[in-house]
Structure 1
Amino acid sequence: MMQFGAKEMTRQKNLLEIVKFVDGDGIILKDIISKKEFEVRLYGIDAPEINYCNKIKKDEKELQIPAALLIKLGFLSFNFLKDQVNLGDVCILVQEENNLVDKYGRHLGYLILNDGRVLNEIMIKEGYAKPYNDVFCEMLPLYQEWNLQAKNSSKGLYSIVNKF
């Protein structure tokens, strides 16, 4: 299980159920007690988009990779995420106090699965997401290191492209 430094304030939400997959870095959870559903953006990671949108146009231009290929990579990431967990699984969400939600109102957090693994870390280590550098998170330096290892080992999406 991931360890948080004492300097960073964290918040933990227990008894959450996975109810829907959004994409390679997003998931819908339900609080088992209140029955409220909310979207979570996996903190510190970024997976390719699965729909044609403004971000895919930006990524296409910046990366010099056709949108159609980026979307295919996005679906590979999405399918890998769905292979790691099941709908109905109970999990824990750990959030950094200074970054609880993003500009779209999605909760930001690290998703700890019922077997103790952290979904964010799995996605990075296996090469199906890259570090999200636009917002600092406590795990970013490790995510950058693990991403480089995945890239150098041609894991996940890096077996197809050298950047995404």
Structure 2
Amino acid sequence: MFQKRCSAVLVWACVVFCLSASVAWGFEGKVVGVSDGDTIKVLDHGKMVKIRIYGVDAPEKKQAFGVKAREFTQSLVAGKIVRVEPQDTDRYGRIVGMVYTLDGRCLNEEIVKAGFAWVYNQYCKQDFCPDWRSFQASAKAGRMGLWADPEPMAPWDYRRGGKKLVASKTAPAGTYSGNVKSGVFHAPGCKYHDCKNCTISFPNRNAAVQAGYRPCGLCNP
């Protein structure tokens, strides 16, 4: 009986160790894709692995600044070798990890500093998370990245139903409108200003460009 109990304990210990090891190991690989501001694809021994960047939440692709956030992440790591240090796995089976460039920069931190993501307080529980919140506050004070918008919608609110609210509205007359599907923006008076997917408004041309939208070829705003 004692031997059986010991064997059971040993088996359980091995299971716990293996589960922990699957999260704790790190690896280096080439970034072969950037899905959005906080999700990248990395080759690990020839296998493509999706990495959800730990502790941050960037705007969704159809949100204002979603395109810009993706472009920023691309500018830092696309096609480059990075080191991934897994912290967890999410409900979609993706590795949630810290990502470092070979010159020592932390991608997670750089995104927050540049103003292209919120610190994801619900999940950011490490000792350095308060520092990240300070970086976020500095980016907000400097109106960097998405903080150029005086009332940006957090992506978790967007996913929880904010996108329905956005989709139910059209851009007010007198403002520039952005097509959340095509990423094109239109000037007031353009025939496409009130299109079905033109649900984001900008006070001026510069705001639309900063958010990552392209000018309409017809009205040439």
Q: 2:40 aligns with which of 22, 27, 36?
A: 27
CA distance in 2, matches of 1:161, 1:25: 22
Amino acid across the alignment from 1:93: V
Amino acid across the alignment from 1:29: V
Describe the SS at the equivalent of 2:124: coil
Instruction: State yes or no: 1:43 paired with 2:35.
Output: no
Map 1:58-77 → 2, pairs under 5 A? 71-77=63-69
Amino acid across the alignment from 2:136: N
Deviation at 1:86, TM superposition (A): 2.6
Map 1:3-152 → 2, pairs under 5 A? 11-31=24-44, 34-51=45-62, 71-87=63-79, 89-96=80-87, 100-138=88-126, 139-152=128-141
Amino acid across the alignment from 1:149: S
CA distance in 2, matches of 1:103, 1:132: 16
8 A Cα contact 1:43 1:137, kept in partner: no
Higher RCO (Cα < 8 Å, 6 or more apart): 1
Amino acid across the alignment from 1:125: K
How far does the alpha carbon of each residue in 1:61-104 deviate from its partner, in whole angstroms, 9 at most, with x for none?
xxxxxxxxxx23111111111112232x11101233xxx20111
CA distance in 2, matches of 1:111, 1:20: 14
8 A Cα contact 2:35 2:41, kept in partner: yes
8 A Cα contact 2:31 2:40, kept in partner: yes
Structure 1 stretch displaced more, 71-80 or 103-112: 71-80
CA distance in 1, matches of 2:149, 2:33: 27
What is the root-mean-square deviation of aligned Cα atoms in Å?
A: 1.9
- Among all aligned residue pairs of Structure 1 and Structure 2, give the percentage whose two residues are the same amino acid: 29
Partner of residue 147, structure 2: 158
CA distance in 2, matches of 1:146, 1:136: 14
Stretches of structure 2 that go unaligned for 5 or more consecutive residues are 1-22, 154-221
8 A Cα contact 2:37 2:69, kept in partner: yes
Stretches of structure 1 that go unaligned for 5 or more consecutive residues are 1-9, 52-70
8 A Cα contact 2:65 2:145, kept in partner: no
Deviation at 1:13, TM superposition (A): 1.7
Q: Computing the radius of gyration over CA atoms, which structure comes out larger, 1 or 2?
A: 2
Deviation at 1:38, TM superposition (A): 0.9
